[in-house]
Chain A
Amino acid sequence: MTLLQIENLSLSIHGAEILKQVSLDIAPGQIVAVTGESGSGKSMTALAVMQLLPNGAVADGAIRLQGQDLLNRPEAELCALRGAATGMVFQEPMTALNPVKTIGDQVMETILIHKAMPRAQARARAQEVLTRVGLPPDRFPLSRYPHELSGGQRQRVVIAMAIALRPKLLIADEPTTALDVTTQAQILDLLKGLVREYDMGLLMITHDLAVVANMADRIAVMRQGEVVESGATGDLLRDMQHPYTRMLFAASGHQVTLPLSPPPRPLLEVAQVVRTYRLPRKGLFGKPDHHRAVDRVSFTLNRGERLGLVGESGCGKSTLTRAILGLDDVQGGSVQLDGQPVFTGHRPNPAVRRKMQVVFQDPYGSFNPRHRVARLITEPFHLLDAPPTGSERQDRIAEMLTAVGLGPDDAGKYIHEFSGGQRQRIAIARALIIRPELILFDEAVSALDVSVRAQILDLLADLCAAYDLTYLFISHDLSVVRTITDRVMVMQAGQIVEQGETGQIFSDPQHPYTRALIEAAPTLPETGMNVA
């Protein structure tokens, strides 16, 4: 018998159509993955099952949990079901927990809200559940607050809250998207184990096709509020019917061909760089400790070379990036571009600064919404002694916008008129406009949907051919780094533990940490290649 049956579910919010005739089934013990790009309606499907839709949502069709329709049920009955019959795990473990309550209280709350029992008994239950999800009370007492735990540990607490009453249906909305690959692998294992042990149905929402392929028994692919294709995982992967499904999988494993890099001639030389942060004092009069975020890092980036930097969160990637850009002074070692120091004394060196540009991760937050595109992309001109003016300036703007696949007409528009992918193109145009010697891409494609990401990667490859780019590509995403770089460095705990030719590192990693990273990254089985 099916556990959850979604039948012809349509949903509109304040008149805007969000879901169209969505149908899905989940059996006990089954993992069903709903995948698709942003705006496809996959999260709304999950929230519809929980009946936690935003105000103004009107649903039509049927959502049956063990034969009982959830739509149009009184709120009191829904509250009794949520947390008891259905549990939910969310994407962002950093914000999914109440910061002012202990983890014990938060797990106990699920139990106490549904079952009247003495607090001591609920506490014992909470301890059991937390132990099951890998947080034994002897190491993680119930009195811990969320901020004292890492992202992966917090996600375990969220899972503990969701499964405390052994719900029949667990919904996980991008449960590992915010986590590092090694943590992701552990959380996915935990979820798989729980499904088997409790015979739960798992509705998993994720954009990551490699995760989908490895986890799910069935897959539903959504686009613009519709399920375009669904089926058993093996069948669907073998025989994709819908062109959109094929496009998604192709884009996930998208490869680009970079032009050959010229013979090595050093451009950026990083030697023994140390960057430390002061920690709070231990005692009142004790000496403060220091944390080495970057620990004696040395490498050389050659002219025309595309270098990757991978590592998990907290490994020091961003700190190193800031040091290279000259945003922070370093405590030891030197960073030189073209033989000139990034820092002269304790001041940033403007002569070097104008030779570097950066493209950031967030295409939404990195532009001033009140400026037009022409002003946004010409911002780096202030670094020049004689910035181009008049028609020369116009020509440069037009050239850059064309180079990144937009039109000269876009110069007069505001940033809110562009999609995420287009904004990232504008960010690239902004970086490129003063023809810097070096560009840093800091997780520049991480926030993009796979199809858009594939286009941006193509654009980068084209730009490499047209402008002989030299760049440092910082990312946690191994599959992207694999295709877009010539050489790669692996960073762990402030140190570069391995560096070499990209192909070599991926096919024959030497350092145990590199091996662990590559192993933890889920793979797309159909094409037989690592996807991460």
Chain B
Amino acid sequence: MLRYAFKRLISLLISLVVASVVIFAVIEVAPGDPASFMLGVNAQEDTLAALRAELGLDVSNAQRYLDWVGGMLVGDFGTSYTYRTPVSQMIADRMWVSLPLALYALILSTLIAFPAGIYAAARRGKPGDLTVMGATQLGIAVPNFWFAMMLVLIFAINLRWFNAGGFAGWNKGLWAGLHSLTLPAIALALPQAAILARVMRSSLLDILGEDFMRTARAKGLTYRQALWRHGVRNALIPVLTILGLQFSFLLAGAIIIEQVFYLPGLGRLVFQAISARDLIVVESVVMLLVFAVITVNFLVDLAYAAVDPRLRSRT
């Protein structure tokens, strides 16, 4: 198990290095000069040169890459071209919204999807299954911003249980923060839960057809017992894969939901940075997301091994 974990860790580090090179190459080598963009078309040549020097754009690409990576390792992501504030501070502020939101949505989606998927699989072809499958079909088809608007309409405007938007901040206490993230988290979670429930169901149905399920029944287990003791854990493997992918998406893919609820999250930050050609911010956020995705995949790999003993020994 330790060797397996160590091997996964090595591959994680390699992925990070490769990703950083690719991101740097794509963004920095892309045409367009941030300095001339900031100063406008009429800028003087010497002003431009001074700004380039200030931004560290006047050295070789390799040197800039090393500076960038070295800086990130000590938490220095550079200075935003547009806002002239440290990028690390900007990201940290947004992270405190986006990360809890992603986790919140992921937990909600799991809480909805697992029971729904298992319930549907256990009642394959019966009304319960058809109802769940119909609901998930709807959940996949309907875009999440529409859910978001409906939630706002019902729970914020009519019932007045929640605020229609904005983020209260964590300094007013955990409850206030969670409260303002609840509607966005639900809106994000519903389509994800629909996908996850379908994966859970089909994965479990595959397992239910396996020989060892029949063996379990031949031992005297009831259908339910066999399902829970032998089915669910085996069915988790494909579900974990989807779960890992979803987390990465939730972290950065929430831009529309952030917009609907006026949340100061990472998605909006990237969006603004791209429009303003604030490459250093884009680069840093992308790198951070890559880091998150790779880390989540690493955790999913470890979870595989926890679930499936065959992976532990096959190093």
Whether the Cβ atoms of B218 and A88 lie closer than 8 Å is yes
Please measure, in the bound complex, the distance between the C-alpha atom of A109 and the C-alpha atom of B314, giving whole angstroms.
27
Interface set, chain A 41-96, CB cutoff 8 A to B: 50, 52, 75-76, 79-84, 87-88, 90, 92, 95-96
> With A100-B233, A145-B310 in contact, is A84–B215 under 8 Å at CB?
no
- Which residue on A lies nearest to B236, using beta carbons? A100
Digitize B127-169: 1 where CB-to-A-CB distance is under 8 Å, 0 elsewhere: 0000000000000000000000000000000000000000000
B218 touches A95 (CB 8 A): no
User: Which of A95, A114, A284 is the one whose CB lies under 8 Å from B6?
Assistant: A284
C-beta contact mask, B1-18 vs A, less than 8 Å → 1, else 0?
001001000000000000
Return chain A residues, CB-CB under 8 Å to B229: 109
Contacts of B219 in A (CB 8 A): 82-83, 109-110, 113, 161-162
Question: Is B211 an interface residue, CB under 8 A from the partner?
Answer: yes
- Which chain A residue lies CB-closest to B315? A280
Give the residues in chain A near B307, CB-CB below 8 Å.
100
A405 interfacial by beta-carbon distance below 8 Å: no
A99 in contact (CB, < 8 A) = yes
What chain B residues lie within 8 Å of A97 (beta carbons)?
212, 215
Report which residue of B6, B217, B315 has the largest number of chain A beta carbons within 10 angstroms of its beta carbon: B217
Task: Give the contacts of B272-312 with A (CB-CB under 8 A).
Answer: 307-310
- Asked whether A99 and B234 contact (CB < 8 A) given A92-B211, A148-B313, the answer is yes
**Within 8 Å CB of B313, what residues of A?**
145, 147-148
Among candidates A84, A92, A100, residue contacting B220 with C-beta atoms closer than 8 Å: A84
Known contacts: A98-B234, A145-B309, A147-B310. The answer to whether A83 contacts B220 by CB under 8 A is yes
Q: How far is the CA of A250 from the CA of B78 in the complex (A)?
A: 86
B221, CB-defined interface residue at 8 Å: yes
- Which chain B residues in 216-243 approach chain A with CB under 8 Å? 216-222, 225, 229-230, 233-234
A288 to chain B, nearest CB (A): 11
Q: How far is the CA of A459 from the CA of B61 in the complex (A)?
A: 72
Of the residues A52, A75, A114, contact of B218 by C-beta under 8 Å: A52
A265 located at the interface, meaning its Cβ lies under 8 Å from any Cβ of chain B in the complex: no
Contact-residue bracket for chain B: 20 to 34
Q: Are B220 and A79 in contact (CB under 8 A)?
A: yes
Residues in chain B near residue A84, CB distance under 8 A: 220
What are 21 A-B residue pairs whose CB atoms fall within 8 Å in the complex?
A: A52-B217, A76-B222, A79-B221, A79-B222, A81-B220, A82-B218, A82-B220, A84-B220, A88-B218, A90-B215, A90-B218, A97-B212, A100-B233, A100-B234, A109-B216, A109-B229, A113-B221, A145-B313, A158-B215, A161-B219, A280-B315
| Interface of B: prevailing SS | helix
B238 to chain A, nearest CB (A): 14
Interface centre among B6, B219, B221, B308 (most CB of A within 10 A): B219
B206 interfacial contact with A, CB 8 Å? no
Q: What separation, in Å, do the CA atoms of A267 and B212 have in the docked complex?
A: 47
Size class of the contact patch on chain A? 20 to 34
Specify which of B225, B310, B315 is in contact with A99 (CB 8 Å cutoff): B310
Q: Cα distance A101–B218 when bound, in Å?
A: 17
Q: How far is the CA of A166 from the CA of B219 in the complex (A)?
A: 12
Excluding A98-B212, A162-B218, 11 further A-B contacts by CB distance (< 8 Å) are: A79-B221, A79-B222, A81-B220, A83-B220, A88-B215, A96-B212, A98-B230, A100-B308, A145-B309, A161-B219, A280-B314
**Is B179 part of the binding interface, using a Cβ–Cβ cutoff of 8 Å?**
no
Check: B214 CB closer than 8 A to any chain A CB. Answer: yes
A88 to B217, CA, bound (A): 10
B210 part of interface (Cβ distance < 8 Å): yes
Chain B residues whose C-beta falls within 8 Å of the C-beta of A161 in the assembled complex: 215, 219
- Determine if A98 and B216 form an interchain contact, defined as CB atoms under 8 angstroms apart: yes
Q: Which residues of B contact A (CB under 8 A)?
A: 3, 6, 210-212, 214-222, 225, 229-230, 233-234, 307-310, 313-315
Q: A100-B308, A147-B309 are in contact. Are A110 and B220 (CB under 8 A)?
A: yes
In the bound complex, how far is the Cα of B314 from the Cα of A513, in angstroms? 31
Report the bound CA distance from A80 to B217 in whole Å: 11
Tell me whether B215 and A100 are in contact (CB under 8 A).
Answer: no
The closest CB in chain A to the CB of B217 belongs to: A52
B225 and A100 contact, CB distance less than 8 A: no
Query: Which residues from chain A contact B309 at a C-beta distance below 8 Å?
Result: 99-100, 145, 147
Chain B residues with Cβ below 8 Å from A87 are 218
Cβ-closest 4 pairs across A and B:
A83-B220, A83-B219, A95-B211, A88-B218
Q: Check A75–B308 contact: CB distance below 8 A.
A: no
- In the complex, how many angstroms separate the beta carbon of B233 from the nearest chain A beta carbon? 5
**Which residues of B are found within 8 Å of A147, using beta-carbon distances?**
309-310, 313
CB distance from B111 to the nearest CB of A (A): 23
Chain A residue numbers with a CB within 8 Å of B210 are: 95
- How far does the alpha carbon of A81 sit from the alpha carbon of B225 in the complex, in Å? 16
* Residues of B contacting A98 in the complex (Cβ-Cβ under 8 angstroms): 212, 215-216, 230, 234
- The CA-CA distance from A79 to B218 in the complex, in Å, is 8
Q: How many angstroms between the C-alpha atoms of A187 and B220 in the bound complex?
A: 24
Q: Given the complex, which residues of A lie within 8 Å of B314, measured CB to CB?
A: 280
Give the residues in chain A near B310, CB-CB below 8 Å. 99, 145, 147
Residue contact B218 to A50, C-beta cutoff 8 Å: yes
Complex Cα gap A109–B220 (Å): 9
Q: Given that A114-B220, A162-B218, A280-B315 are known contacts, is A101 also in contact with B211, CB under 8 Å in the complex?
A: no
Kindly report which residue of chain B lies nearest to residue A102, judged by CB atoms: B309
Known A147-B313, A280-B315; contact A83-B212, beta-carbon cutoff 8 A:
no
Write the nearest CB–CB distance from B27 to chain A, whole angstroms. Answer: 36
State whether B215 touches A75 (Cβ < 8 A): no
Contact in complex: A113, B308 (CB < 8 Å): no
CB distance from B39 to the nearest CB of A (A): 54
